Amino acid sequence: MKITSVECYLGNFITVKVNTDEGISGWGEAGLAYGNCWEAAFGQCQDFAKLVIDMDPFDTEKIWEHLHRHTFWGMGGGVVITSAMAAIDTACWDIKGKALGVPVYKLLGGKTNDKLRAYASQLQFGWRTQIEKNDSLTLLYDPQDYYDVVKDAVAEGYDSVKIDPVFAPYEKGDIGAIFSTQGTHHRGCYRQHDLARSVERIAAAREAGGPDMDIIVEIHSLLDANTAADLGKALEPYRIMYYEEPTMPCNPSVFKHIKERCGLPLATGERSYTRWGFRQFFEDRTLDVIQPDLCNTGGITETKKICDMAQVYDIGVQIHVCGGPIATAAALQVEAAIPNFVIHEEHNANLLTKFKNGGTNYYCPKDGYYDIPELPGIGQEMSEEELSHCRKVVIDASTPAANFVKK
């Protein structure tokens, strides 16, 4: 089997369709459709597509190493590089599953989990009642709103939720402006009333969910290490499942500082890329849960290796899922196979119409648990509705390969 062409799409999501000479195609996703890197990732997918024409999609390890080692910049990493690698890698795994007539988890060693527990994620932006009303995310400020949104999730059967209590500032403002500043109103100047309001929001969530509900506290790396440690200490009475991205992951040693000053389990990983990006966290044993983003850290091939490394250190895995339908489907396949799976992220963006209609299948939890898709491959393709408004570039043997090293 040989790869004959790669179709690259940019719309609500960044996806690739890898086509073969046997008529079997696979889908992959680069996880940079939000933020400000989508054009770069779309272009990188095209550049890497030129390098895999005529390669065998079954040779996923060879293709991954080829893109990593033979593109000059690959070995230095960076999320634009690894997101494009992820898109092509995931598509190749999808092809392998379809060609063999089995779901990808079968190719990763089979199920170790028959069902996947999920949590309702990012409740500071609302849940079903608020989101489906206007088909958009909102931003919650008052502790009572956090109480109500947790009740909304619990009513659907979730027994775990995730909340960022610091994203919404003390004073209400335009949601677009707040997103664009990414919380810089907090960094280095987190005053006592801000800290108290963050604690009040989590206290309201705990009251709404009761003593048995798990609460994940997300900070989106918005705080410096000292402030994150102070907030973590203040949240200790509320039995936090884990404390996610309390500060930037660029310097893993600062997580040791936070861990020494507060007793919360720590998690990070969505902005760490490849095995090398996670290595020091493992060796320092500062994390209790890692959160690799499959569509940003190199795809199924690399994510499975990261999960296996984590198991050596007794570290759990919650794959970061904030992408489109391909990202969700691929994550479910890996999570089904790994023994150190903790929980699946059900992002509230999955409640938006563009997510529901983006794929040929709409996967979502029932009573807080996912059934594992049993279709061949990853069990997902992009819908014609989504593709109809995408920019499309097709790479095949006739596309100039510029000055890249040939395989």
Residue 401 pLDDT grade (very low, low, confident, very high; cuts 50, 70, 90): low
The answer to whether the beta carbons of residues 84 and 47 sit under 8 Å apart is yes
pLDDT digits (tens, 9 = 90+) for 261-289: 999 999 999 999 999 999 999 999 999 99
> What is the dihedral angle through the alpha carbons of 100, 105, 111, 113, rounded to the nearest 10 degrees?
-150
pLDDT in tens, 74-114: 887 789 999 999 999 999 999 999 999 999 999 999 999 99
Residues 28 and 18: beta-carbon distance below 8 Å:
yes
Tokens of 347: 């992002």
Amino acid 405: pLDDT: 46
- Alpha carbon distance 395, 46 (integer Å): 7
Q: Is 369 exposed, middle or buried (0-12, 13-18, 19+ CB in 10 A)?
A: middle
Distance in angstroms between the alpha carbons of the first and the last residue of the chain: 16
> What is the arithmetic mean of pLDDT over 163-179?
85
Which domains does the chain show, CATH number per domain?
A: 3-101+383-396 (3.30.390.10), 106-371 (3.20.20.120)
CA–CA gap between residue 264 and residue 278 (Å, rounded):
20
Q: Strand, helix or coil at 211?
A: coil
280 sits in which H/E element = helix 274-284
User: How far apart, in whole angstroms, are the C-alpha atoms of residue 117 and residue 298?
Assistant: 24
The string of DSSP letters for 144-209 reads HHHHHHHHHHHHTT-SEEEE-SSSS-SS---HHHHHHHTTTTTTT---HHHHHHHHHHHHHHHHHH
pLDDT in tens, 289-301: 999 999 999 999 9
- What is the pLDDT of the chain when averaged over all its residues? 94
Q: Which tokens in the block code for residue 63? A: 């293709």
How far apart, in whole angstroms, are the C-alpha atoms of residue 118 and residue 40? 31
Tell whether pTM > 0.85: yes
For residue 49, what are its two tokens?
Answer: 């597509």
d(CA 135, CA 353): 7
Q: Residue 202's closest CA among 157, 255, 264?
A: 264
pLDDT in tens, 186-199: 656 678 888 999 99
